[in-house]
Amino acid sequence: MLIPRSEHAISRKQFSPNAIKVLYRLKDGGYDAYLVGGCIRDILLGIEPKDFDVVTNATPEQVKKLFRNCRLIGRRFRLAHIVFGREIIEVATMRGHHQAQDNPDPTSQSSDQGQLLRDNVYGTIEEDAQRRDFSINALYYSINDFSIRDFAGGIAAIEHRKIELIGDPETRYREDPVRMLRAVRFATKLDMTIAGPTEAPIAELAPLLGNIPAARLFEETLKLFLGGKAEANFLMLRKYGLFKQLFPALDAILDNPQSEFETTFIRKMFANTDERINADKKVTPAFIYAALLWFPLRDRCNTLTAEGMNEYDAFMQAISQILAENARHIAVPKRFTLGARDIWHIQQRLDKRGGQRAYRLSLQPRFKAGYDFLLLRVESGETDQQELANWWTDYLQQDVSGQKEMVKNLGQRSGGSERRRRRPRNKPRRKPNPES
C-alpha cells in the first residue's frame, strides 16, 4: 500500500539532517533508498525518534564507495555505518528470500533449529518488507515522492496498537530467537499488546535463546533495562519464561513461594532505574547486574561456608563462580563486572566503621553505589540493616568534625570492639654473656 504525502503527516523536518544527506547521496549515485522502521513508526506514534535507519538496493561495498565516512560491520548481517560525529546512520541492503537447504548458498546459512547464521541475501523492497520482523517496522519513507510504503499492514497495526510478526511466528522466532525479546521490548515501550498468534509460541520456544551468543544477549538486556521500562520488561520476561533463559539462577530463587523479599528487591531496583532514566539521571549497568546476581551470590556463599570454608574465602570464591556461570548466558563486559564486585565488597565493609575505616570507605569510587545498594536492601524489607543504613545516612550529612564524633561515639557504644587490637610485640631475648 502506498500512502501519498497528502495522506500522512510526516515531514522531512522530523528526520535527522544526516539521514536525509545519506538518502540524497544514494539517490544521486543511482540507487533506491528509503528511511525504514523505527523512525517512521515513532513519528506516527508521536514519539521523537532516536535512530534513523536507511535501506537501499546498493550493496555494502557500493555504499562504502559513496561515503568516505563509512565502515562496514557484521558477518551475519552485513551493514554499512555512516559516521557523522556522534551520530551513526545505519544503511542496510534490501534483504531477499533464502534458498532451500538442499541448495546451499555461501551468502545464506541456517542451523538445524532454523536459526539464520548468515543472512546476506539481497532482494527487492517487497522481499525486504517480508523479511522484517514486525509489521510496525516494515514502513518505508521515500524522498522521491515523500510517500510511505506499507507492505505488511504496519499502519493498521499501529492504529490497533498490536505487535504482529510478519509471516509464521514459529518460523520467524526460530530464524532469530532474539525477536522474542524484541516483542516484549516493543510492547512495553510503545504501550501495545502482543497479538495472539505472535504471543502463542514464545513460552515453548524460549529455550532457543540458549543458542544466541552471550555478547549479543548483553546488548539486548541493556535495551530492555535501560529504556525506561525495565520493571514492565522484567514482569513480561518472567511471564513468558524468557527471564529464566537470561538469569537462570535468579529465576530459580524467584520461583520459590517464600521469595517475597527477593522479588520486591528486584522490582524496586528496576522501578528506581526507570525513575532515574526518565528523569535523565545516570544509571550504570554495574548496579543492575550487582542486584540481579546478589541473591545467587548470597546462596552460593552460604553453601560454601556450610561446607567449612571461612566467610571471606567463601565470599571471594562465590563471586568468581557466579560471574563465570553468568558469563555463559550473558557476557557482561569486565568494566561492569568490576563495578559489581566493588558494590558487593562494600556491603561486607559497611558495618566496619571504627577508626579511619568509615572515612576511607566513603572515599571509594563506588561507595555511593554501594550505599544506595544498602538502602535498596532496607527498603525491600531487610530490616536488620535499618540501623546501619540510618548511621551511614547521618554520617554522610555531617562535616568532618561531626563524622569524627559519630565514629568516636560508635567506639564507646561498642566498648571499643571495632578498634583493631594490636598484638603485643615479643621482646627479643638477650643473648647470654659467655663470660657470665
Q: Tell me: the pLDDT tens digits for 310-349?
A: 999 999 999 999 999 999 999 999 999 999 999 999 999 9
Q: Would you state the pLDDT for residue 427?
A: 55
Cell of 186: 516493543
Domains of the chain, residue spans: 1-163
pLDDT at 276: 95
Per the annotation, the verdict on 128 as an active-site residue is: no
**CB-based burial label for 118 (10 Å; 0-12, 13-18, 19+):** middle
Cα 357 from Cα 79, distance rounded (Å): 53
Other CB atoms within 10 A of residue 429 CB? 6
CA angle 7, 11, 14 (to 5 degrees): 140
- Cα separation, 141 vs 419, in Å, equals 71
Describe the crossing of helices 214-225 and 285-292 by its angle, rounded to 10 degrees: 100
**For residue 41, what is the DSSP state?**
H
Q: Is the C-alpha dihedral spanning 182, 185, 191, 194 positive or negative? A: positive
Q: Which of 32, 51, 251, 299 is catalytic?
A: 51
Residue 375 has a pLDDT of 96
Please check whether residue 38 is in contact with residue 51, taking contact to mean a CB–CB distance below 8 angstroms. yes
The yes-or-no answer on residue 176 being catalytic is: no
Indicate the pairing of strand 87-93 with strand 53-56: parallel
**CA distances (Å), 180 to each of 159, 209, 244, in order?**
22, 9, 13
Query: In the CATH scheme, what is the homologous superfamily, with its name and number, of domain 1-163?
Result: Beta Polymerase, domain 2 (3.30.460.10)
pLDDT of res. 413:
54
Region of residue 416 (left: phi > 0; alpha: psi -120 to 50; beta: else): left
- Give me 55's grid cell: 535501506
Torsions phi, psi for 148 (to 5 deg):
-110, 135
CA–CA dist 1, 6 (Å, integer): 14
From the candidates 42, 119, 133, 274, give the one annotated as an active-site residue: 133
Give residue for cell 516494515: 138
Determine the Cα angle at 346 with ends 220 and 325, to 5°.
40
Torsion angle (degrees, nearest 10) of CA 364, 369, 371, 373: -140
User: How many whole angstroms separate alpha carbon 379 and alpha carbon 381?
Assistant: 6
pLDDT tens digit sequence for 138-190: 999 988 888 899 988 889 999 999 999 999 999 999 999 999 999 999 999 99
Chain centroid to CA 346: how far?
A: 24
pLDDT at 434: 56
Is 28 tagged catalytic?
no
- In angstroms, rounded to a whole number, what is the distance separating the alpha carbons of residues 133 and 146? 24
Helix (H) / strand (E) element for 205: namely helix 202-205
Compute the distance between CA of residue 383 and CA of residue 380 in angstroms, rounded to an integer. 8
Q: In the chain, which residues have pLDDT < 70?
A: 98-120, 411-436
Q: What is the spatial distance between Cα 209 and Cα 217, in angstroms, rounded to a whole number? A: 8
C-alpha span between 388 and 392 (Å, rounded): 6
